[in-house]
Structure 1
Amino acid sequence: MHGGACMIPRHRLLKIHRVCGLAAAVFILLQAITGCMLVYRADLARLIDPAGMTRHHRATTAPPSRIVASLGHAYPKAAMRRLIFARDGTQTHIAHLVDRAGAAIYVSLDPGDAAILRQGTIWRFPLEAISQIHFGLMAGMAGLAVVALTGLSILTLAMLGLLYWWPRAGRWRRSLEIRRHRSLGPVLRQFHRSLGVTASALILISALTGLAMAGELLWQRAPQTRSGSSLDQPGLGLAVEQALTLAQSGFPGHRVRDIRMPDGATLNVYFWAPERNARAVHGVSVDLAAMRVTATTPASADASIWVIALPIHTGEALEKTGRVLALASGLCLAILAISGPLVWLRSRRGQRVATRSRAS
């Protein structure tokens, strides 16, 4: 690819790389930092808010009806959109509610006794806010489109950078050396180049999987969720518990990931499906009025892109090693998003100094 192997002149590759990088640097840095924080999301949430995000009562487990009752007592006129179940014995349940004005309410509950540990807007739940920023900038479809463009920018930068760097045969090792120099500028430029090349595989995988998921969501354009029944509806807690038991009969032994109420008549239940991968789920829809299963989607039948892409993107496909690699990818990307503009700034400064010297 060096010399004649690439049809685009090297100086033009560098110019496109520079313009694209400067235009997207802030968004890339935001994606990198938020992504790093989400790699160990549950642990970081407990570190930031141990009182509100840690299970305190471990001897008992509150039934779903009690959880719904606890939410109904605190927010009788709100509707429950989603209830995320604790994944292990240290985490809490997280409920997503919406009041009559359409404002979102978040609640953390102790799985042991259904006590409310933390409640309020999304800003009371930093990791939930970080998650929504990472996946859509909290700006709906427009934010998701920006995230997709950011992923595309990362792919473009990585490919252009590799094409610009690609050395002649026998010069691979030397092309990655960072040589001493009296000025910081050349050292910073060499560091940016070497880090980018070394981390390119991880960054490309992260960008490709992220872009694939964002593209799928943009293509699907998920319909707006309607408000469900108010939590003070008589018998709602018992109905949710019965529906959950009915759904569980189809996937015995599988832990519940979350339940959702897209409207007042349906309960969607999602069970973890580790037999496929770390993020896959079995889905069951239950008609609350008739108390019957209306749809079942086993994880093996789910052809969604995210089912394959998400565990690769988060690193969970390789368990602990994968999460470390995902964190390393995010950190490298953040450093590149900072060092790239710094290289450009120092280059501009050097050009201005040289221009003044010639003029004098």
Structure 2
Amino acid sequence: MLNKFIFHAHAWLGFICSLFLLAVAITGIAFALSGPLLHIETGAFPSEEARSPDSPVNIERHVEAAKKATSAAFIPLGYIGGFAEIETPIEMVYGLSSLPEQGGEVQIVTFNPNTDDIIDSFYLDRTITHHIIDFHYTLLLGNIGLLVMAVVGILMAIMAVLGIVMWWPRRFTFLVFKRKALYLNLRASLTQINFNLHSVIGFWGATAIIVWGLTGAFWSKPDWQPSWMLPNTDSLPADKQARLETMTCEATVTISDAVAIAREKFPNAVVLEAEFPVPWQPYHILYLSNGNDVDTKDGDTRVWVSASCKDIVHVEENEGLHLVGAANNSVHAGTSFGIMRLPIILSVGLALIFLSVTGLVLWWRRYIKSRVIPL
């Protein structure tokens, strides 16, 4: 009775989620290749060597160059360093082409990290790659899409667990394990080949599918994680935020000033990203990497600096159990795996595609044509 329940639960969960999984897998692979894809579209991300550690970036100079290259209405919002949001050494300054009420679009100016020269500028929302990435995050449905993606991620993990329970030999021996895990009879019928492919790929890919399903769910809905797991750097304590927003001085704190303040506290840190002060956010936010971060995507250190008071500074560092949550995005994006990132992302994505297609075929034959597949 339990075996039948597990079988039907696995089959119907797979059917319900299969089209979502295909979309997630295909767009996830595209996400991993976003740098080259954006370059094909815009010409703004050529292959370059990363910035030398002996030549720290001058973000303020980048901002001034970006203003000159765009228009007087350009509003700088932030800086993204090499290998931060996109797997490319190219650096970026992003902003709005004009005020939001005037139809301002997100405009990006890219820089050569070796010469600091402008490469090109483009409007982000006009690129297909951006919409592919947005689809991977939200299915282009905003907050509803985030909820759907989180649920799909959890269902992915549940399906993988149920699949392993179904796959596991009732009487375990090494020979039975070897036959089920490695053997694929290409001379069998197409139905049996399809079943064997689903079984073998599902077994070897189950752990990765569970990991990517759960990390994807917590990426979409981080508030579903226990509070003790949430990265300290993801939020600013309410009292500190109120102080940064209400306290004012007669000075103007530039982005160079903010970087200097951050480097005084963390001399060996690299600025991965920076958010600039705007009317709705009167402070700088610096994302710092100390070189051994668990969160390789955004860094384990965040520094908030008032836009008008140099002495109003707040620092958050990920430590203790908060590092579990900090690793979530890095694992899901594959950046935790270093040079193996792209092969691993491609392997997981292709496994999901194969499992979705073969699973749909199995479901069709079992429930539509009423042909029971031997277990």
Q: TM-score band (shorter)?
A: 0.7 to 0.9
Contact 2:270 2:289 in 1 (8 A): yes
Q: Structure 2 CA distance, aligned partners of 1:124 and 1:163?
A: 43
Q: Structure 2 CA distance, aligned partners of 1:218 and 1:140?
A: 17
Q: Structure 1 CA distance, aligned partners of 2:153 and 2:339?
A: 24
Contact 1:276 1:300 in 2 (8 A): no
Determine helix, strand or coil for the equivalent of 1:173. helix
**Aligned residue runs from structure 1 range 195-206, under 5 A:** 195-206=201-212
Counterpart in the other structure of 1:155: 157
Question: Deviation string for 1:254-295 (max 9, x for gaps)?
Answer: 211111136432011111232233333311111111233420
Contact 2:41 2:127 in 1 (8 A): no
Residues 155 and 139 of structure 1, relative CA distance in 2, 3 Å threshold? same
Counterpart in the other structure of 1:242: 257
AA paired with 1:91? Answer: I
Residue 67 (str. 1) matches residue 49 (str. 2): no
AA paired with 1:85? Answer: G
Counterpart in the other structure of 2:239: none
**Aligned residue runs from structure 1 range 8-47, under 5 A:** 9-43=2-36, 45-46=38-39
Q: Quick check: 92-101 or 268-277, which moved more?
A: 92-101
Contact 2:36 2:45 in 1 (8 A): no
Q: Structure 2 CA distance, aligned partners of 1:142 and 1:349?
A: 31
Residues 258 and 212 of structure 1, relative CA distance in 2, 3 Å threshold? same
Q: Structure 1 CA distance, aligned partners of 2:320 and 2:361?
A: 48
Counterpart in the other structure of 2:283: 266
Question: Deviation string for 1:29-70 (max 9, x for gaps)?
Answer: 122122223335445544x35731137798998732332223
Moved over 6 A (4+): 55-62, 219-223
Residues 136 and 305 of structure 1, relative CA distance in 2, 3 Å threshold? farther
Question: Deviation string for 1:99-127 (max 9, x for gaps)?
Answer: 3237541313214445361311323261x
Residue 174 (str. 1) matches residue 179 (str. 2): yes
Question: Deviation string for 1:7-31 (max 9, x for gaps)?
Answer: x532322222121111111211122
- Which of 1 and 2 has higher RCO (CA within 8 Å, sep 6+)? 1
**Aligned residue runs from structure 1 range 136-147, under 5 A:** 136-147=138-149
Q: Quick check: 113-122 or 243-252, which moved more?
A: 113-122
AA paired with 2:272? Answer: R
Q: Structure 2 CA distance, aligned partners of 1:77 and 1:131?
A: 27
Contact 1:315 1:324 in 2 (8 A): no
Q: Quick check: 268-277 or 134-143, which moved more?
A: 134-143
Counterpart in the other structure of 2:358: 339
Q: Quick check: 248-257 or 35-44, which moved more?
A: 35-44
Determine helix, strand or coil for the equivalent of 2:305. strand
| Matched positions, count | 331
RMSD after superposition: 3.5
Question: Deviation string for 1:285-338 (max 9, x for gaps)?
Answer: 111112334201234379265412223223333422355333312210121112
Q: Structure 1 CA distance, aligned partners of 2:135 and 2:288?
A: 26
Determine helix, strand or coil for the equivalent of 2:133. helix
Contact 2:29 2:346 in 1 (8 A): yes
Q: Structure 1 CA distance, aligned partners of 2:74 and 2:235?
A: 23
Counterpart in the other structure of 2:268: 253
Counterpart in the other structure of 2:125: 122
Q: Structure 1 CA distance, aligned partners of 2:95 and 2:224?
A: 23
Post-superposition offset of 1:130: 3.5
Q: Structure 2 CA distance, aligned partners of 1:23 and 1:261?
A: 43
Post-superposition offset of 1:185: 1.8
AA paired with 2:90? Answer: Q
Determine helix, strand or coil for the equivalent of 1:258. strand
Q: Structure 1 CA distance, aligned partners of 2:367 and 2:57?
A: 63
AA paired with 1:206? Answer: W
Q: Structure 2 CA distance, aligned partners of 1:315 and 1:348?
A: 37
Residues 198 and 64 of structure 1, relative CA distance in 2, 3 Å threshold? closer
Q: Structure 2 CA distance, aligned partners of 1:194 and 1:270?
A: 42
Q: Structure 2 CA distance, aligned partners of 1:138 and 1:182?
A: 42
Residues 286 and 182 of structure 1, relative CA distance in 2, 3 Å threshold? closer
Determine helix, strand or coil for the equivalent of 1:161. helix
Question: Deviation string for 1:124-144 (max 9, x for gaps)?
Answer: 261x44333323334332221
Post-superposition offset of 1:188: 0.7
Residues 351 and 55 of structure 1, relative CA distance in 2, 3 Å threshold? closer
What's the TM-score once normalised by structure 1's chain length? 0.78
